Structure 1
Amino acid sequence: MTRAEFGYMLGENTKSPHGYPSMNIRLSIACLATVLGVAAAPPALAADNAERVRQVAGSAADFEKASQAGKKAAFFCVNCHGEDGNSAYDYIPNLAGQNAVYLLNQIEKFADGRRQDEFMSGLIKVLKPEDRFNMALYYSGETVKTAVVKDSKQVAHGQQIYERACKSCHGAQGYGNEKIARLAGQQPVYLKKALEDYRASVKLRKDPIMGSIARRLKDADIDALAAYIPTMK
């Protein structure tokens, strides 16, 4: 994704779908927190994040500098989300190609407690605000790897549902925007679990719009969406 393509997104994460981190990772985070101190920045306003992202993205040199710094700051993220933001696990979300503003706002929510995750919350709080900002820019500039169509009939069904239920908010190409997550190229099991949680109004997946849409979906519809969306480019 290029700097000009900041109209993109990712599905919102909540409770860890991937279980618990290894003891080595837990200990490493604990050590980092001891050495660096927990950087608890005040809640960042979405408008401030958007303006700063646009400012840095307006300069190729500034964007490259921030991205490289973000890549270094994201060394712990590699364990789950992959070195380039493409997860090696179908139940862990891709971060590559995500809208930088959207992603930064989600990272800040983990930092200030508006979003909770046993693993993510502790890790994000260790990072300095500048590191979090640079990480969002880094991942936004990476290219998401889309899935190959395996079942054309199911994918076609998923496309039909997407056109009716998802397109108006997430966009025709699934790129979303600064306030709505990019879906295109997202991991299938992660998508399925998210939709199931919205349908069941699981605590951290409560959203009136998403809940209303998800409750109209049958299991086969969710499976079809989870098959189609990862193939969107």
Structure 2
Amino acid sequence: MHRWDMRALRRRALGLFACLSVSAALAQTAAPDAKALERGARLIGFCANCHGANGNSTAPEIPNLAGQNPAYLEEQMRRFVDGRRKDPFMSGLIKAMSPAERADAVAYLAAQTMQPSAPPAPAAQIAEGRSYYAKVCFRCHGEQARGDATVPRLAGQQPGYVVKSLKRYRDGTGERLEPVMAANTKMMSDAQIQAVAAYVASLR
């Protein structure tokens, strides 16, 4: 085969690969099925008692689930099911759901708009949190604190919940002892934790 034929074939192969990649990406970001959202809305009715209507918590130490990254939500549900995460109330509820029901609940929650209820923190505290976040936290959680498939969205999260979580990582309490989080929070002061929580809560 001539040299130019090989180059042509390579270009065609690369073009096909690019098309397939785009198609896969579009499939992953496609809007959830309307029926799945309808089923999910019914399923999360009991969740509203703690996490608020449409996944927007009104309690300082209970996390917002609205707008959270779906793959992250799915993984956390799996952890409650297999025991890697433990909570007397949450574990029982999630274990009672089938995999299909969990998928519908995740689809619904992820499709909701986060509507933070926490009052704004002082500007100086937010600025301090922004400075710390830009040096450390952005590497995993992203510049806008929206995370990714394996890292949770923090933007708009309840500050009380962020404070509680960061202190647990720092102090080595609780069941979620992630090595990266433990290392990055080890030297944080209470004031720095409060500032970072205030900053991410201010993001939309």
- Using structure 1 for the length normalisation, give the TM-score: 0.73
Is the 2:84–2:175 contact (alpha carbons within 8 Å) kept by the matching residues of 1?
Answer: no
Is the 1:194–1:205 contact (alpha carbons within 8 Å) kept by the matching residues of 2?
Answer: no
**Which of 34, 52, 59 is residue 89 of structure 1 equivalent to?**
59
Deviations 1:5-54 (A, max 9, x none): xxxxxxxxxxxxxxxxxxxxxxxxxxxxxxxxxxxxxxxxxxxxxxxxx7
In 1, Cα distance between the equivalents of 2:174 and 2:97? 26
How far the C-alpha of 1:232 sits from its partner, in A, is 0.8
Deviations 1:151-203 (A, max 9, x none): 00000000001111100100011110001111111111111011111010114
How far the C-alpha of 1:81 sits from its partner, in A, is 0.4
2:158 is aligned to 187
Confirm or deny that 1:174 pairs with 2:145: yes
How far the C-alpha of 1:95 sits from its partner, in A, is 0.1
Over aligned residue pairs, what C-alpha RMSD do you find? Answer: 1.9
Higher RCO, Cα 8 Å, sep 6+: 1
Confirm or deny that 1:209 pairs with 2:176: no
Is the 1:56–1:63 contact (alpha carbons within 8 Å) kept by the matching residues of 2?
Answer: no
**Which of 70, 73, 80 is residue 40 of structure 2 equivalent to?**
70
Q: Residues 6-155 of structure 1: matches in 2 within 5 Å?
A: 55=27, 57-58=29-30, 60=31, 62-146=32-116, 147-155=118-126
For this pair of structures, how many residues does the alignment match?
180
Unaligned runs of 5+ in 1: 1-53
Greater C-alpha Rg: 2
In 1, Cα distance between the equivalents of 2:166 and 2:42? 33
How far the C-alpha of 1:55 sits from its partner, in A, is 4.6
Is the 1:90–1:187 contact (alpha carbons within 8 Å) kept by the matching residues of 2?
Answer: yes
Matched residues, percent identical? 42
Q: Give the residue type in structure 2 aligned to 1:127.
A: M
In 2, Cα distance between the equivalents of 1:108 and 1:198? 20
